[in-house]
Structure 1
Amino acid sequence: MPHPNRPLANIFVSSRSDRLNTPVQVLTPRTPHSRNGRAEEGFTEVELDDLPEYDEEEEEDAFLSPGRTPSSVSPGPASTAFPPGYRSRGDDREILGPKVRMCPSGLMLAERLVYLSGAFFVFGIFALFYMAFQRDLEDNGFGLAINYRHYYVFPLTGAQYAHECERISWFKEGLNYWDPPLSGPTDVVHHDRRLKMHGHSPICSSTVTYQLDGHAGLATDLALMAQVAALARERNSTFFIDDTYWTRGRWVDYFEDPINVYPGPEPGCRRPPPEELVACPRSARHWVVNSHTAKYHLNSQFSERYEDSSAQGINRRRPIYDHAARSLAEIIRPDAHNSALIRTARSEIASILSLPHDSHSKYAPYIGVQLVHEHSISHNTSTPSLKAYVQAMHDIWTRLYPNHPIPLDSDTTAHFPAPPIAYLATDAPETLRHYVAAFPASTAKFALDLSTDAELRALAPEHAYDPVFFAEVPTAERVRLTRGLIVDLALMSGLWPEDGYVVPGATVCAAGLNACELAVIGLGWERAFGFDDAKEHPTGEVDHARMRWVPLGPQTTRWKGFELPFHKGIV
């Protein structure tokens, strides 16, 4: 039996014989690995119970004295050089010899310093990141509150809203398009102003605002606005337009006030205070979108949400077309003055074509043409050449109107209005002159600058449009040029049609520009892509023999519905 006061911690499990005064049984030596494993195992409980009682001092003296063999042990024939519990040669140095202190090498220290430095660096960056946003995002009970304390003028500009979107971009949007951010609800602090106070209408409970600032072309703003207005309808929010910083003046100088044509779910409610408008995230109560921030919302997640995933080809974009078409028909409508100008221009074309203005022949045999110059092109698009325009006009007229052939250049009997009949929309007089000179004098060509109506002719630009200097143009001239641009867009694309007034039979435009994207809305889905043959088109492949939307650009050009702007130039 073991000594009752003997501490087990002093038993050396890798010692020599377990019976000091008795001959030991020979064990077959194992491999070093097996012996090491046995030694590290130690004794089992049964082996510990079989240990003899002996004095601790003798054990320590026998086992811990280097070079000394216990006198009671007499190696003989029944013994081997490997008594029970023996580990392997050299193992006794670990126990009996002096302990060697392992000092970390210089390389190990360097590695540890690198790891520690990296950890401190990451922690420091996180701390700075947190402190940078702490003043802008505060806990407000419902989630994280956006604080605009470092701004003094509201609403913010388009660039400032984009900056705020960047600042909180680490708060990722939700998994689905309308989900709140993964970090939780994020919004500015709202004051309870919904109750009627002093006879005033309450603030709308949910709004979507499109902000105009002049840093994008009019067609770009209209294309983006059409999608944003559709999102307001889906979200059941009241839609507003903010023109505080618009370089073209007031929205109601050209278009109907949206609140009059689309009152929304809360008729009569008032705009929210400008300091409560939030650009990101889109789940904010009063969401604002502009040409700077559209990239955060009309992105790949938008396409995943609103494309028809069950359709093929161009048919996948049909829901996006439907959204824009409804917005441009119900919400984004020219005011009475601009509508009258559009009717005047359409009547002029109808009279030249010997078609009365109340004719039932809606699709007139004329082609809308968007003539562009270098300032009209975005950063990733090239300006179509004059040769490309001329060739496209010949090709599409021959394809669509074979019964009205284009006269040969040598045909002196041709008279006005000879085909190809075209309405030329352009903001550069020099570009217009080059096109006119490329066709015989008998060819019918319409444009603001060529109109017989004095009011229309007054809307024509006197020099090429340059967005960089547009803000420096006198206000009255900016209003005049904007009215002319709206008339051009309607006559070139067929937007805002009215019963009894003609629209183009086809449109030739520059791929990559939003005026070209909007032309599909004016032409109509079926006519634009050649689907108006009363047949099914499940593959969504455009019928090039019948299509009436002709974008000049890469052969792989596909309709998107809108082009996100690039703010170093007009798009």
Structure 2
Amino acid sequence: MARPRPLQLASGTPKSSDYQNLTPRTPHSRAGRAEEAFSDIELTDIREADEDYQSPQQQQSKPLLTSSRDGYRSRGDEYDGRHHPGMGQKRWTFARVVSLLPLILSALTGLLLLFLIFASVQRPDTLHKIVGAIPPSEGAVDVGRPPAQQDNPVVSSASPSISTAQPSQHANSSTTHTVNLENLISYENYTIFPLKPDEYRAECSKHNSGFMKHFGGFWDVPMHGPVDVPHEENDRVCRSTITYMLDGKVGLLADLALMAQVAAMARERNRTFFVDDTYWDRGKWADYFIGVRKSQPGEEPDCLPPPPNELVACPRGARHWVINSRTAKYHLGHPFSETYENAYGHGLHRLKPIFNMARESFSNTILPNERMRHLINIARDAFQKKMAVAGASSSYLGVHIRRGDRKASSWKYHGQYLPTSEYVSAVVDTWPRVSPPSTGNSTHSIPSNPFIYLASDSPEGEREFTSSVHAENVFSLAGSRNPELAALASPMDYVQSEFDRLSLPERAAATKGMIVDFALVSGMWAADDGFAPEATICGISSSVCRLSAVALGWDRAFGELGSMGDIDETGKRWVEIDEHGTIVPVWQPFELFR
């Protein structure tokens, strides 16, 4: 029997094609790695790395229990097998390059934006040329030169630029601005001027829409230049104006509260102040008040008002700014407070500058005309005569009851009218605290039951209150024996949406009655004899209540405030019975409407 040929080649290096690794069953084996909690992907990477060992020195030519020099566990327990020199090394394939393209493009875009920001700060002219924009110096008219002297003047209703003179933040100086074509406001879709109140509100909504429309200071001009309508150059027209439009959308005192702040801003900015009554449902401003051109003439007392088609509601930096109750929310909101409040005060202290602005306007700008002063004096004389007959002094309390379309603001009476008992309790608590001390030489006594001037829009509310106190001590327009005063009493609860249903004479009578009521219940426009209430009791939901504090004055209204702006409960004479001081601050200068 033939024996097989003996092996002549005893090499320990077999061919890779028929080589099969021998796996020792040790903790360092490949199978043992399953105990190390490697994932399937990690095991695949390790397997691929093991198969890459193609050098003869790394083949199994040594005893099975001898570790390879690149072994996994021979490097110690701190060695991370996932970072093996042969494993995890990615090849720069086409797919990998494609996967990195978004990151590369993002980095390049960031560098481009950084370059543009740098260029816009350092070399804006170069950036204008790159993007094809017109620099202000090339597309604007200098207001410092008359139009006839401009280089290459353009005579057209759609001029490529207009000039505006905008006062600076310093009261005694002004700043020249130019307006580019891109910043022009177009009124081409309107044919009736001035625009209606809701149309001005629509223009404000359009102007304030978009990104980053509310940055900058209250009076700052936008970086891209002023926004305005075209103006016809006329030296007789006022250089810069602010107009308050009486739109007939809110109550009389709500309008006056807003107007007081607008008039104060006109004084501060050296801008001529006007009142527009085109759409007022109460008649003409001159029917009740002195013309503001007389009471607040400004720096240009003889200038003409601007053409109505040049009035702009937004932005407020326009040459001829107009504001009404519908657009006030775009101007008298948070930016206004940030600008005019006392930034270093707490609580009510923050509002003192705005309070003083309103008080100055009611002292010097918003003044009743001669006819209204006559009616106010008639009511004062009749009330004083009634107190004199009773042998009482001239001290009294003012009480204002508001119903109609005004419900309580507090949650306690949410959706309801303030009950009459709240007013009666406030009278009982307030009078002993504020009544002047009697003197031995006085011919008039201080009654335990005070005299009360009652102002109310509600005949029913007036009857309820009168029946709850000494009726003989209550004076009101409705209860007056003077027919001229009785004709001014409110015929029904005041509802703004129903006010226009009355005839114009009825609306005018109600307006006069409101002015007389406000003067006596608050002491506004008091005569030289100082006949004014010792305190005013009211609910904060009414604008009459807000402005009654202004009439009383800061110290009399709120007493000696604490360091944190807390109202003085023992010294206050402005008695608010709706929220009872639960809302901070306890007083607000005006109301903003939608």
TM-score (norm 1): 0.69
Deviation at 1:104, TM superposition (A): 10
Q: CA-to-partner distance for each residue in 1:126-164, whole Å, 9 max, x for gaps?
A: xxxxxxxxxxx9974624111111111111122211111
Amino acid at match of 2:384: A
CA distance in 2, matches of 1:305, 1:461: 39
- Contact (CA 8 Å) 1:214, 1:246: kept in 2 or not? yes
Change (3 A) 1:416 1:470: farther
Q: CA-to-partner distance for each residue in 1:160-199, whole Å, 9 max, x for gaps?
A: 11111111113624521110235431111111122xxxxx
Deviation at 1:514, TM superposition (A): 1.5
- Contact (CA 8 Å) 2:288, 2:368: kept in 1 or not? yes
Residue 172 of structure 1 is matched in structure 2 by 213
Higher mean alpha-carbon deviation, 370-379 vs 265-274, is at 370-379
CA distance in 2, matches of 1:89, 1:547: 83
Deviation at 1:485, TM superposition (A): 0.6
Residue 59 of structure 1 is matched in structure 2 by none
Of structures 1 and 2, the one scoring higher in RCO (CA 8 A, sep 6+) is 1
Q: CA-to-partner distance for each residue in 1:476-518, whole Å, 9 max, x for gaps?
A: 1111110001000111111111202511110001113221110
- Report matched runs for 1:428-467 at 5 Å: 428-441=458-471, 443-467=472-496
Q: CA-to-partner distance for each residue in 1:456-481, whole Å, 9 max, x for gaps?
A: 11111222222112112111111111
- Contact (CA 8 Å) 2:459, 2:491: kept in 1 or not? yes
- Contact (CA 8 Å) 1:173, 1:180: kept in 2 or not? no
Higher mean alpha-carbon deviation, 556-565 vs 255-264, is at 556-565
- Contact (CA 8 Å) 2:402, 2:542: kept in 1 or not? no
Is 1:478 matched with 2:484? no
CA distance in 2, matches of 1:402, 1:503: 13
Residue 310 of structure 1 is matched in structure 2 by 344
Residue 76 of structure 2 is matched in structure 1 by none
- Report matched runs for 1:393-412 at 5 Å: 393-401=427-435
CA distance in 2, matches of 1:448, 1:101: 90
Residue 190 of structure 1 is matched in structure 2 by 231
Query: 1:342 is paired with a residue of what secondary structure?
Result: helix
Is 1:544 matched with 2:569? yes
CA distance in 1, matches of 2:297, 2:437: 48
Change (3 A) 1:455 1:330: same
Deviation at 1:314, TM superposition (A): 1.7
CA distance in 2, matches of 1:556, 1:429: 30
- Contact (CA 8 Å) 1:428, 1:464: kept in 2 or not? yes
Q: CA-to-partner distance for each residue in 1:295-352, whole Å, 9 max, x for gaps?
A: 1111111111111122333222111111111111111000101111111111222222
Amino acid at match of 1:189: P
Residue 389 of structure 1 is matched in structure 2 by 423
CA distance in 1, matches of 2:509, 2:247: 18
Amino acid at match of 2:201: A
CA distance in 2, matches of 1:546, 1:90: 81
Change (3 A) 1:142 1:440: closer
- Report matched runs for 1:121-160 at 5 Å: 140=161, 142-143=179-180, 144-160=183-199
Query: 2:228 is paired with a residue of what secondary structure?
Result: strand
CA distance in 2, matches of 1:453, 1:90: 103
Residue 27 of structure 2 is matched in structure 1 by none
Change (3 A) 1:179 1:456: same
Amino acid at match of 2:218: Y
Is 1:563 matched with 2:585? no
Query: 1:369 is paired with a residue of what secondary structure?
Result: strand
| Long gaps (5+) in structure 1 | 1-32, 37-68, 106-136, 195-201, 405-414
Is 1:528 matched with 2:557? yes
Residue 333 of structure 1 is matched in structure 2 by 367
Q: CA-to-partner distance for each residue in 1:19-56, whole Å, 9 max, x for gaps?
A: xxxxxxxxxxxxxx9xx9xxxxxxxxxxxxxxxxxxxx
CA distance in 1, matches of 2:525, 2:255: 16
Query: 1:370 is paired with a residue of what secondary structure?
Result: strand
What percentage of residue pairs aligned between the two structures are identical? 40
Amino acid at match of 2:541: G
Amino acid at match of 2:191: Y
Query: 2:463 is paired with a residue of what secondary structure?
Result: helix
CA distance in 1, matches of 2:316, 2:223: 13
Change (3 A) 1:89 1:501: closer
Deviation at 1:374, TM superposition (A): 3.8
Amino acid at match of 1:166: S
CA distance in 1, matches of 2:307, 2:95: 73
CA distance in 1, matches of 2:404, 2:483: 29
Change (3 A) 1:176 1:473: same
Is 1:347 matched with 2:381? yes
- Contact (CA 8 Å) 2:218, 2:339: kept in 1 or not? yes
Residue 136 of structure 2 is matched in structure 1 by none
The correspondence for 1:215, drawn from 246, 249, 253, is 249
Higher mean alpha-carbon deviation, 335-344 vs 152-161, is at 152-161
Query: 1:517 is paired with a residue of what secondary structure?
Result: helix
- Contact (CA 8 Å) 1:530, 1:548: kept in 2 or not? yes
CA distance in 2, matches of 1:279, 1:477: 31
Query: 1:462 is paired with a residue of what secondary structure?
Result: coil
Q: CA-to-partner distance for each residue in 1:263-298, whole Å, 9 max, x for gaps?
A: 111011011011111111111110111111111111
Deviation at 1:222, TM superposition (A): 0.5
- Contact (CA 8 Å) 2:244, 2:322: kept in 1 or not? yes
Change (3 A) 1:88 1:489: same
Change (3 A) 1:481 1:101: closer
Amino acid at match of 2:205: E
CA distance in 1, matches of 2:300, 2:97: 77
Q: CA-to-partner distance for each residue in 1:75-124, whole Å, 9 max, x for gaps?
A: 799xx999xxxx848999x79xxx9989999xxxxxxxxxxxxxxxxxxx
CA distance in 1, matches of 2:94, 2:205: 58
CA distance in 2, matches of 1:215, 1:371: 21
Change (3 A) 1:308 1:100: closer
Residue 20 of structure 2 is matched in structure 1 by none
Residue 153 of structure 2 is matched in structure 1 by none
- Contact (CA 8 Å) 1:347, 1:501: kept in 2 or not? no
- Contact (CA 8 Å) 1:429, 1:463: kept in 2 or not? yes
Change (3 A) 1:212 1:88: same
- Report matched runs for 1:242-261 at 5 Å: 242-261=276-295
- Contact (CA 8 Å) 1:378, 1:513: kept in 2 or not? no
CA distance in 1, matches of 2:587, 2:310: 32
Q: CA-to-partner distance for each residue in 1:239-280, whole Å, 9 max, x for gaps?
A: 000011111111111001100122111011011011111111
CA distance in 2, matches of 1:538, 1:494: 28
Change (3 A) 1:89 1:313: closer
Deviation at 1:563, TM superposition (A): 3.0
CA distance in 2, matches of 1:552, 1:204: 45
CA distance in 1, matches of 2:325, 2:591: 8
CA distance in 2, matches of 1:440, 1:91: 99
- For these two proteins, the number of residue pairs brought into alignment is 434
The correspondence for 1:493, drawn from 504, 518, 522, is 522
Change (3 A) 1:103 1:517: same
Amino acid at match of 1:496: W
Cα RMSD (Å): 3.8
- Contact (CA 8 Å) 1:507, 1:548: kept in 2 or not? yes
Residue 231 of structure 1 is matched in structure 2 by 265
Query: 1:496 is paired with a residue of what secondary structure?
Result: coil
CA distance in 2, matches of 1:241, 1:505: 33
- Contact (CA 8 Å) 1:369, 1:422: kept in 2 or not? yes
Deviation at 1:369, TM superposition (A): 0.7
- Report matched runs for 1:255-334 at 5 Å: 255-334=289-368
- Contact (CA 8 Å) 1:145, 1:189: kept in 2 or not? yes
| Long gaps (5+) in structure 2 | 1-41, 46-53, 62-67, 70-84, 100-157, 162-177, 439-444
Change (3 A) 1:255 1:159: same
